[in-house]
Amino acid sequence: MSLLNPYIRLLLLSAFLCTTSSISADETSLHNLPNPELANVWQAQSSPSDFLVSEKLDGVRARWDGERLYSRSGLIIAAPHWFTKGFPDEPLEGELWGGYSSFDQVSLIARGLTDDDAWRTIQYWLFDAPAAAGGFEQRYHHFQAFERLTPYLRVIPQTRGTDVNALQQRLDDIVTRGGEGLVLHQRNAPIVAGRSPYLFKFKPVDDAEAKVLAVLPGNGKYAGMMGSLLVETAEGVRFKIGTGFSDAERRTPPAIGSWITFAHNGVTSSGKPRFARFLRVRLDYELSHDAN
C-alpha cells in the first residue's frame, strides 16, 4: 500500500499531460515522410573516411512534412506559427534543441507544458531532407541553404571523416563540453526507412529505450519506495533496472506503460543489457517500434 499514493499521483499527472500536451495524435498519415531512419552502433575501429560526421544532439527528434512538425511516431508537435514561419515546403528531419543539458526543458516545450515564448529558446536543427535528390552529401548541400530562411532553422554541420584517432578525439572533445556523441552518415547513402546500414551513432556508452512493465518494491533503505523496474525493449528482451534513480524518482517512479532511456555497457550472450542503469523517462514521444 505504501506505493499506492505515488501511483495515484502518476495517474493524475498522466491525465494532466494528456489534456495539455502540445503533442497530439494526427488524423492524417505522414504521406510526405518515409518511416524514420534509425542508426546502428558504430564500431570504434572502423575507418570513417567514407562518412560525413556530425555531433549527435540530445534533443527531441522532430519531422517536418512541409506544413507541420511531428514526433518520430507521428504525433503532431504544435509549434507556434511564428516558429515554423519560413520553413520550406518539403520534408525535413531534425532535432528540437536548446543547448547542452536542455533535454528536459525541450521535452516540456514540445509537449506544450510551457508558454509559447519558451519556443524562442530552442531551434530546429536539420540533419536530413528525405525528399531531396542524391546521396546524403548531395542532400546536405541542398538543405544547408535553408539556414538562411529563419533564425529558428539551423543545420547540424557535417565534416568529412579522416581516421580512427581523429574520430575518437572529436568524440572526446564533444563529451567534455557536455555533448552526447557523434553521428556518421555514409556520403552516398540513400534514404532508408527504419534501421539504416549507412547511418551510425558513436557514443562513449550505449543507451536504449525500454517500456516499464512493473514497479517492484524496495527493501532496506528503499523500503516504501521503488526498488527496481521490470522493463522490456522493443525487441522483447525483459530485464530489471535498479540503479541510476534518485530518491525522488524512487518515491514517484516512472508509470507502468511509459518508456525510459537506460545506459548500458553492451549486452550479454543472452541479449540482455550489461550493467543497465536508468537515465530518464522519455517524455518527448510515444516510442514507435524502433529506437534510435
DSSP string, the chain: -TTHHHHHHHHHHHHHHHHH-SEEE-SS--TTSPSPEEEEEPPTTS--TTEEEEEE--SEEEEE-SS-EE-TTSEEE---HHHHTT--SS-EEEEEE-STT-HHHHHHHHTT-S-GGGGGG-EEEEEE-TTSSSSHHHHHHHHHGGGGT-TTEEE---EE---HHHHHHHHHHHHHTT--EEEEEETTPPP-SEEEEEEEEE-SSEEEEEEEEEEEEB-GGGBTSEEEEEEE-TT--EEEE-SS--HHHHHSPPPTT-EEEEEES-B-TTSPBTT-EEEEE--S----S---
pLDDT of residue 70: 94
Q: Which fold has domain 206-281?
A: OB fold (Dihydrolipoamide Acetyltransferase, E2P) (2.40.50)
In this prediction, residue 278 carries a pLDDT of 95
One digit per residue, pLDDT tens: the chain, 292 residues? Answer: 344 344 333 333 443 344 344 444 444 445 456 688 889 888 866 789 999 999 999 899 999 999 999 988 788 999 999 999 999 999 999 999 999 988 889 989 998 889 999 999 999 999 999 999 999 999 999 999 999 999 999 999 999 999 999 999 999 999 888 898 999 999 999 999 888 999 999 988 788 899 999 999 999 999 999 999 999 998 899 999 999 999 999 999 999 999 999 988 778 777 888 889 999 998 654 444 344 4
The residue annotated as part of the active site, out of 56, 201, 203, 211, is 56
pLDDT at 194: 87
Q: Where are the domains of the chain?
A: 40-202, 206-281
pLDDT value of residue 140: 98
Q: Which CATH number fits domain 40-202: 3.30.70.1350, 3.30.70.100, 3.30.70.3270, 3.30.470.30?
A: 3.30.470.30
Specify whether 85 is catalytic.
Answer: no
Q: Do domains 40-202 and 206-281 have the same CATH topology?
A: no
The pLDDT value recorded for residue 227 is 96
pLDDT value for 19: 38
Look at residue 207 in the predicted model and tell me its pLDDT: 84
